[in-house]
Amino acid sequence: PGTAIVLEADEMGDIHLETQVEGTLFNIIQEAVNNALKHAQAKHIWIRLRREGITLLTVVQDDGVGFDLQKVLASYEQRGSFGLLNIDERARLVGGNAELESTPGKGTRVTILVPLGG
């Protein structure tokens, strides 16, 4: 019973993030995982971290119920919940970006790219 959270982070020893980027990425991952736990009814949530050149690619994906992204985005003002929009906004504030994909019955995937530090 419950949801298994799986972390996949191979060869991450030489990764260095600026303090603000690190904190922001942690908050985004936390938001994505909490959303999946609260809404997705998922059996699994995967957190995948991988270096891609001068950026860190992070994917938070679940095998839950998914949702109609366009419908949710269209009703944001009435709902008073801005968690999904905050994910991309937070990433942009530290020079990165985030993309959200979801399909009813097929789960949700949040992809985040943030710059690596020196």
pLDDT in tens, 17-34: 999 999 999 999 999 999
Distances (CA, A) of 6 to 2, 44, 73, 112: 13, 7, 28, 17
Going by the DSSP 8-state scheme, the letter that residue 3 receives in this structure is -
Element (H, E) at 84: helix 83-93
Q: What is the pTM of this model?
A: 0.89
Tens of pLDDT along 57-105? 999 999 999 998 888 777 766 655 556 668 889 999 999 999 999 999 9
The rounded percent of the chain whose pLDDT value lies above 90 is 68
pLDDT grade for 13, boundaries at 50, 70 and 90: confident
Residue 44 has phi, psi (to 5 degrees) of -140, 145
Contact 94/23 with Cβ under 8 angstroms?
no
> Which residue has better confidence, 78 or 6?
6
